[in-house]
């Protein structure tokens, strides 16, 4: 197979259990072996020798003994030598014939490079490779498998024998059988003198025929695998319930050991005629399965003539059954005799399954033996399909035998293309299409009217927990029988509205579920895409109707979708009673993976700090950035949307804001903060208060008491991908008593209910089993850091404007004595230390591009900043925040130095702009790259990429930085946009990259403006709605080239 979704992986290539020792067998094996020089390799033919062939005029002891035992004649050795001579001559002739055939047809066999741009029906987005071959050179028709052409949109190229490349358009994919047709422009081939046109000859397929499978096996261009047709009547392979399966056809079987990349390869006879189409193989064996060409040839002939390929169906699956089994089903002897008289000597067709509400539903039943259709006796698949395809829309008479009784039924032949999905709807990056005949047949469901199939979960359904493979039956109380109804139902709700959806799973259609989705038209466009418009093989998108204006808060609250009144839990002690109305559960969803985020769905506990402004504090492991959607749950049932207004650039704190009007009538109270440091709290008994549970199942309040101790951040050496991690902070932890503090965030309070710290979840990475894995730990951020941040935010200024620009670590004096400081200096420092145990602050890492990077050195010890003594992380932060430059007293190499160091200016540490280009998510270089990898900001950072995009297909690596586009240097997003905006669809772009070590590399990418148009997601000032309170909101807008802008204006 091709390695695509519909294939079974091939494993062992052991030979068959049966052997043949003869001169003919020796000749055949030699011929197959000789073909290894043709570019392929022989993998255990369907015939194997019982023993190695002896040299001419010689024989092994074993064969000599066997010959003597069988016939002790003096003529036996000469007879064996003659047989060997004949075998060698036959093998030479056979090899020469195959070599001539291959040289004649190889120009018509192509390697296919594919990219499925969207998930559709049973096929997922992604890149792959396969094989095809030219069946009409004049019209540019290439035959391959259906699972290569795919049901959905695909971008493909064909690579010919001379390495020349042409673009392809998928003009036909069969609704049932595993074949499809691409088309290329013959004039696009500039350097290939002629293209071989392979002939389809289904009539030449006979059991025992020596064949070759020629294609892109295992990704190797033009490999040749030999085999012998062993079976012509194998049942169609079954790949699984959630994927494509062929039916109502026989398959051929041979031991050719085909593997990934060989899907669509021609199976040719010695004359170079194609007798079958390679489709799949059985895992763990050398068995390969080929599709017969009877119906394939008909379709190709019609396409050559420019006609439509009619396909008829009864929505019924038949299976071929032998006469022995037919008797048990009730086949009468007269009917068996009539079938044999008509030339059938093996069996007949029996109804296996029927799709509910299909044309034959209620008329036929499983186990019915098919006798005739429209007066013609039918015992095999080919005549069955010929009758159906030629009778689309007509009413025909079916005669079956059921339990020995002859029954007649009238059925109308349905157009198979009419129940094949040809459009998909995108909303919130989720993808929906009509239920296909393939899925309906496998899951015993009617094709029409049961719901819309979820091909990809996307952002919209991920947040609601609705998985791919589900059927959406209702949206907001409206039936969704097809994608057009789905589009209308979704479009009737404003952006951001909460809407209930009803759905079921294909795996268990009897179970009905309901979930709440939030309509998203901010992060991703909503559009409907249709196939074969305006011409076959072309997919055209149009924007969905615009959403209605948002309703007022009162209507939303009355509907129960947001806000409203609620109750809070009863506290089991006075501390819980004081804090219960200040705790909220926070759920955060991230639409685009940026800044090295470890995931896309986060949850945690927040604390209300300002009810007038609606401010809530949580950690950055819950709200990692401003590009997100937030939901806050107060009490037991009041859920309101929120947005991230501030992310602390240095510490594990994020500030969310909700609209206080949404919780009117609900008793929400801000916490009372008590300013203190970790050093002040050590040894004290404090309360750890948290809310345990989830928004789906409810939460309960838990509090425990423990002894506070000082702690430090668990800093990973080098996070991968580079992401923010906590450094340079004095933390609070618990020792004994508060067992939940090891696994839950929350608040830290004294006996009076005053909050002295926010107990946060910190993201870190650890090495497990030799691999770097994400993890977390919990510690308290004391109220002094929180108060400093809130005071500045209330004044409308940034809390932290300057930082030292270096990562520090505390070192005990014993560790530095004699290494970084001499004895006298150590004793001097120890005498001035106010904290115990005495420690000094040492430079661990410097941020690239800062004053600290140029002025300081790793392992420098900082004793003073602006004359103030430095002993804690808090001392460093406070001193550095004073201004743009500071005087430092450091110890370097055992000597004291006075240095003037420029402080690093800080802005709100939020990525406020993202560019989507060719499926890559691009942003400014995150600060973590400079802080952890020592790489100064340069170029544009590749944060992530979408499946099925050019960025994924051409392997544009995440965590790299684009510094040049076609030789033009780019410094930032604006420069990058200027360099790529004029690139036309299909243009090739050269990108010079730098990795995290600063090592350069080159990548080439082909632009796809049809499926992956450029867009910008930017945070803009002001609320999203006129009555909103948020200081900014996010907006997605397309990025048009100057030419496109002129066309739009015109």
CB count within 10 Å of CB 532 equals 16
CB count within 10 Å of CB 768 equals 9
Question: 997, exposed or middle or buried, with CB in 10 Å at 0-12, 13-18, 19+?
Answer: exposed
Which member of 63, 107, 116, 262 is catalytic?
262
Question: What residues contact 463, with CB distance under 8 A and at least 6 apart?
Answer: 517, 518, 589, 601, 629
Is residue 262 flagged as an active site residue?
Answer: yes
Report the C-alpha dihedral over residues 551, 556, 562, 564, rounded to 10 degrees.
Answer: 140
Q: How far is CA 148 from CA 123, 153, 173, 224, 265, in A?
A: 10, 11, 9, 20, 11
| Residue 183 β-bridge partners | 141, 169
Element (H, E) at 893: none
Report the C-alpha dihedral over residues 892, 904, 944, 428, rounded to 10 degrees.
Answer: 150
| Residue 601 β-bridge partners | 589
Is residue 147 flagged as an active site residue?
Answer: yes
Give the Cα separation of 765 and 267 in Å (integer): 52
Give the Cα separation of 1046 and 1050 in Å (integer): 6
Question: What residues contact 1029, with CB distance under 8 A and at least 6 apart?
Answer: 613, 614, 657, 659, 1023
Comparing CA positions, the residue from 592, 568, 730, 489 lying closest to residue 1034 is 592
Which member of 42, 123, 147, 651 is catalytic?
147
Element (H, E) at 650: none
Reading the block at residue 935, the tokens are 């790489």
Comparing CA positions, the residue from 832, 922, 899, 927 lying closest to residue 871 is 832
Give the Cα separation of 353 and 316 in Å (integer): 6
CB distance 266 to 214 below 8 Å: yes
Give the Cα separation of 562 and 555 in Å (integer): 9
Residues in the chain: 1050
CB count within 10 Å of CB 878 equals 15
Comparing CA positions, the residue from 189, 225, 199, 196 lying closest to residue 13 is 225
Reading the block at residue 978, the tokens are 């200027």
Question: What residues contact 395, with CB distance under 8 A and at least 6 apart?
Answer: 410, 411, 412, 413
Distance of CA 720 to the CA centre of its chain: 20
Reading the block at residue 723, the tokens are 């992401």
Which member of 94, 136, 178, 784 is catalytic?
178
Distance of CA 843 to the CA centre of its chain: 41
Distance of CA 494 to the CA centre of its chain: 29
Reading the block at residue 646, the tokens are 């501030």
Give the Cα separation of 400 and 398 in Å (integer): 6
Q: Specify the long-range contacts of residues 28-33, CB closer than 8 Å, at least 24 apart.
A: 28/91, 28/94, 28/210, 28/228, 29/53, 29/91, 30/87, 30/88, 30/90, 30/91, 30/94, 30/95, 31/90, 31/91, 31/94, 31/95, 31/98, 31/210, 32/226, 33/91
Question: 82, exposed or middle or buried, with CB in 10 Å at 0-12, 13-18, 19+?
Answer: exposed
Dihedrals phi, psi of 803, to nearest 5 degrees = -140, 160
Q: Point out the residues that are catalytic.
A: 147, 178, 262
């Amino acid at each position: 197979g091709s390695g695509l979704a519909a294939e079974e992986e091939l494993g062992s290539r052991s030979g068959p259990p049966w052997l043949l020792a003869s001169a003919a067998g020796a000749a055949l094996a030699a011929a197959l072996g000789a073909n290894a020089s043709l570019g392929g390799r022989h993998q255990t033919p369907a015939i194997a020798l019982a023993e190695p062939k002896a040299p001419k005029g010689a024989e092994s002891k074993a064969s000599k003994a066997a010959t003597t035992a069988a016939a002790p004649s003096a003529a036996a050795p000469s007879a064996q030598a003659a047989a060997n001579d004949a075998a060698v001559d036959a093998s030479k002739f056979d090899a020469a014939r195959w070599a001539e055939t291959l040289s004649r047809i190889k120009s018509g066999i192509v390697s296919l490079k594919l990219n499925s741009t969207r998930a559709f029906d049973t096929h997922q987005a992604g890149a792959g490779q396969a094989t095809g071959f030219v069946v009409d050179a004049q019209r540019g028709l290439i035959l391959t498998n259906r699972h290569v052409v795919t049901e959905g949109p695909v971008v493909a190229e064909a690579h010919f024998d001379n390495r020349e490349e042409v673009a392809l358009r998928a003009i036909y994919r069969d609704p049932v059988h595993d074949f499809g047709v691409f088309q290329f422009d013959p004039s696009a081939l500039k350097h290939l003198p002629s293209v071989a046109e392979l002939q389809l000859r289904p009539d030449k397929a006979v059991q025992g025929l020596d064949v070759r499978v020629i294609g892109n096996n295992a990704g190797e261009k033009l490999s040749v695998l030999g085999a012998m047709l062993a079976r012509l009547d194998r049942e169609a392979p079954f790949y699984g319930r959630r994927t494509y399966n062929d039916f109502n056809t026989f398959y051929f079987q041979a031991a050719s050991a085909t593997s990934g990349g060989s899907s669509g390869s021609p199976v040719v006879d010695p004359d170079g005629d194609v007798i079958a189409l390679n489709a799949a193989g059985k895992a763990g064996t050398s068995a390969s399965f080929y599709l017969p060409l009877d119906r394939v040839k008909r379709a190709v002939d019609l396409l050559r003539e420019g006609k439509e390929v009619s396909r008829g169906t009864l929505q019924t699956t038949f299976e071929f059954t032998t006469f022995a089994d037919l008797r048990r089903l009730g086949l009468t002897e007269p009917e068996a005799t009539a079938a044999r008289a008509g030339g059938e000597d093996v069996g007949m067709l029996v109804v296996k399954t029927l799709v509910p509400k299909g044309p034959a539903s209620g008329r036929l039943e499983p186990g019915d033996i098919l006798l005739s259709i429209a007066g013609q006796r039918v015992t095999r698949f080919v005549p069955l399909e010929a009758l159906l395809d030629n009778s689309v829309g007509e009413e025909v008479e079916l005669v079956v035998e059921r339990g020995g009784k002859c029954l007649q039924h009238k059925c109308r032949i349905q157009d198979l293309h009419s129940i094949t999905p040809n459009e998909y709807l995108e909303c919130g990056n989720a993808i929906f299409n009509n239920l296909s005949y393939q899925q309906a047949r496998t899951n015993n469901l009617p094709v029409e009217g049961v719901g819309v199939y979820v091909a990809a979960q996307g952002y919209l359904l991920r947040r609601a927990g609705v998985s791919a493979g589900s059927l959406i039956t209702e949206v907001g109380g409206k039936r969704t029988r097809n994608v057009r109804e789905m589009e209308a139902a979704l479009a009737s709700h404003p952006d951001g509205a909460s809407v209930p959806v009803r759905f079921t799973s294909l795996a268990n259609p009897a179970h009905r579920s309901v979930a709440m989705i939030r309509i998203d038209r901010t992060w991703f466009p909503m559009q409907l895409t249709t196939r074969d418009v305006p011409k076959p093989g072309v997919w055209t998108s149009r924007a969905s109707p615009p959403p209605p204006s948002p309703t007022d808060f009162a209507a939303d609250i009355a509907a129960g979708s947001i806000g409203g009144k609620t109750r809070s839990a009863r506290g089991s002690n006075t501390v819980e009673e004081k804090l219960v109305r200040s705790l909220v559960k926070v759920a955060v969803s991230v639409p685009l993976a940026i800044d090295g985020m470890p995931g896309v769905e986060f949850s945690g506990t927040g604390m209300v700090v300002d009810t007038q402004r609606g401010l809530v504090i949580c950690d950055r492991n819950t709200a990692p950035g401003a590009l997100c959607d937030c939901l806050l749950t107060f009490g037991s049932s009041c859920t309101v949307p929120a947005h991230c207004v501030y992310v602390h650039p240095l510490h594990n704190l994020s500030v969310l804001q909700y609209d206080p009007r949404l919780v009117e009538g609900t008793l929400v109270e801000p916490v009372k903060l008590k300013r203190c440091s970790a050093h002040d709290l050590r040894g004290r008994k404090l309360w750890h208060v948290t809310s345990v549970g989830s928004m789906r199942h409810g939460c309960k309040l838990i509090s425990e008491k423990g002894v506070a101790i000082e702690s430090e951040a668990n800093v990973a050496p080098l996070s991968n991908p580079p992401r923010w991690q906590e450094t340079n902070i004095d933390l609070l932890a618990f020792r004994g008593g508060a067992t939940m503090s090891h696994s839950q965030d929350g608040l830290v309070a004294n006996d009076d209910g005053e909050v002295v710290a926010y107990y946060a979840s910190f993201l870190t990475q650890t090495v497990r089993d030799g691999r770097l894995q994400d993890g977390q730990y919990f510690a308290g951020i004391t109220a002094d850091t929180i108060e400093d941040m809130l005071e500045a935010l209330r004044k409308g200024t940034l809390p932290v404007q300057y930082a030292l620009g270096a990562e520090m670590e505390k070192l005990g004096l014993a560790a530095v004595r004699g290494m970084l400081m001499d004895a006298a200096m150590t004793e001097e420092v120890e005498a001035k230390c106010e904290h115990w145990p005495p420690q000094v602050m040492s430079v661990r890492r410097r941020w690239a591009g800062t004053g600290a990077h140029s002025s300081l050195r790793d392992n420098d010890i900082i004793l003073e900043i602006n004359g103030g003594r430095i002993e804690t992380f808090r001392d460093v932060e406070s001193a550095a925040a004073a201004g743009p430059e500071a005087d430092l007293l450091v110890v370097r190499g055992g000597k004291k130095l006075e240095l003037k160091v420029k402080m690093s200016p800080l802005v709100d540490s939020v990525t406020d702009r993202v560019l989507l280009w060719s499926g890559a998510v691009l942003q400014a270089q995150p600060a973590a790259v400079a802080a952890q990898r020592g790489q100064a900001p340069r170029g544009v950072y590749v944060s992530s990429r979408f499946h099925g995009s050019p960025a994924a297909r051409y392997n544009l690596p995440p965590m790299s930085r684009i510094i040049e586009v076609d030789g033009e240097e780019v410094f930032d997003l604006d420069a990058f946009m200027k360099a790529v905006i004029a690139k036309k669809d299909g243009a090739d772009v050269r990108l010079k990259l730098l990795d995290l070590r600063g090592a350069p590399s080159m990548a080439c990418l082909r632009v796809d403006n049809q499926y992956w148009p450029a867009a910008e997601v930017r945070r803009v000032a002001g609320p999203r709605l006129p009555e909103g309170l948020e200081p900014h909101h996010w907006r997605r807008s397309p990025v048009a080239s100057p030419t496109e802008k002129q066309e739009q204006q015109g």
